[in-house]
Amino acid sequence: MEAIENLGSMDVLCTDKTGALTEGVIALNATVDPDGRESASVRRLAYLNAALETGIENPLDAAIVAAGEREGLGTAGWRKIDEIPYDFLRKRLTIVAAREEDAAEHWIVTKGAYDQVLEICSTFDRDGVETPLDEAQREHLKDYYRRMGSEGFRMLTLATKRVKARNRYARSDEKSMCLAGFLLFFDPPKADAGKTIRDLAELGIQVKVISGDNRYVTSHLAAAIGLDSQSLLTGEEIAGLKDEALWHRAERTDLFVEVDPQQKERIVRALQRTGHAVGYIGDGINDAPALHAADVGISVEGAVDVARESADVVLLRSDLDVLRLGVQDGRRTFANTLKYISTTTSANFGNMVSINQSPYDE
């Protein structure tokens, strides 16, 4: 019952974009080399990385594996040696594998966010030849990254390195790698997302997007659904802000991008500090701190266990319009509660006076 009241009093809704504002069906659209040309080699290496990793399941790896299996790819002929798991600081995942016919050499295959993978690359693959990755080429790659993001494509970066065989590998081995190419994913906005946001605005609820994705693809989505694509704060900018400054900036910002789990919680608390009742939608492990901090944490039936347990409300359907109906019901419930209290108080007022009246008053 407390969650219903909080849902009704909510005036800011923070949400990730995937699933809530988009269709949530992520598909691998293309695998390209550093020159933007379709590459079967990049697809094979990406499949190897995604199929052999044993960390938390995620829709991007699922899309890579599904696309590979449709093309008949597999891990036959390869043996997994080691894994350097993904974390929210490095934003990359590394698999070490060996060909069964060559035990003396290991392949290090890393995929992850654009900036975090580019920073460990010193060369790039051009027609099978490792070429030095100079500043001019880096700027050319950055332009491609911006352009793809501005067209709505989410992009992962893939890098490789061959090394002499050994038993164990660590994060320090993620260096001097060769940029192999990029993976492009597309998840279109929901057809009714713009209308739902307008409906929520009519109820006095402002929608803010909090996402770990890059600024370009998030801005593209925001423009498509009617949010201000220029009202934006990045995780790097948030890290440089004191709490007081974030209080001021948070309520004037629509998009928070490239953020880590701790920053999601900071944003929620900053909005609360300025007097807002904050709802937060999340379905991943990285959403748990923000879900717990929000006035009303909202998750979905298919979310990870820790997200569902941290939430006050679990949606059976990932649909913001369901929330709109929930807000209306919450406000109706609260209004009815006030009416009941008022009616009961007035009906019992005479009894209260009679009980408290002294017989000597006459």
Q: What is the pLDDT of residue 246?
A: 96
Q: Which of 155-164, 265-274, 350-359 has the lowest mean pLDDT?
A: 350-359
Closest by CA to 25, choosing from 216, 351, 302, is 302
- The torsion defined by the Cα of 225, 149, 185 and 311, in degrees rounded to 10, comes to -50
Whole-angstrom distance, CA of residue 217 vs CA of residue 295: 29
| pLDDT grade for 352, boundaries at 50, 70 and 90 | low
pLDDT in tens, 152-173: 999 999 999 999 999 899 999 9
Q: Which of 153-167, 190-204, 323-337 has the lowest mean pLDDT?
A: 323-337
Min mean pLDDT across 80-89, 278-287, 326-335 is at 326-335
What counts of helices (H) and strands (E) characterise the chain?
14, 15
pLDDT of 357 higher than 70: no
Note the pLDDT of residue 131.
96
> What's the predicted TM-score (pTM) here?
0.85
Q: What is the largest CA-CA distance in the chain?
A: 109
Kindly state the helix (H) or strand (E) to which residue 69 belongs, with its residue range: helix 59-70
Q: Which residues have C-beta within 8 Å of that of residue 115, sequence separation ≥ 6? A: 91
Check whether 63 has a pLDDT greater than 70. Answer: yes
Mean pLDDT value of segment 298-315: 86
pLDDT digits over 8-56, tens only?
889 999 998 877 888 878 899 999 999 999 999 999 999 999 999 998 7
Residues 199-219: tens digit of each pLDDT: 999 999 999 999 989 999 999
Residues annotated catalytic, as ranges: 16
Task: Note the pLDDT of residue 137.
Answer: 96
| Number of Cβ atoms within 10 Å of the Cβ of 266 | 22
Domains of the chain: 2-23+189-336 (3.40.50.1000), 27-186 (3.40.1110.10)
Structure tokens at 325: 């109906």
Q: What is the pLDDT of residue 360?
A: 53
Query: Is 358's pLDDT higher than 70?
Result: no
Q: What is the pLDDT of residue 341?
A: 73
Predicted confidence band of residue 344 (pLDDT cuts 50, 70, 90) = confident
Distance, in Å, from the CA atom of 149 to the CA atom of 164, rounded to the nearest integer, reads 37
Q: Is residue 359 predicted with pLDDT exceeding 60?
A: no
Better pLDDT: 267 or 323: 267
| Confidence bin at 327 (pLDDT 50/70/90) | confident
The lowest-confidence range among 20-24, 130-134, 191-195 is: 20-24
C-alpha to C-alpha distance for 64 and 52, rounded to whole angstroms? 12
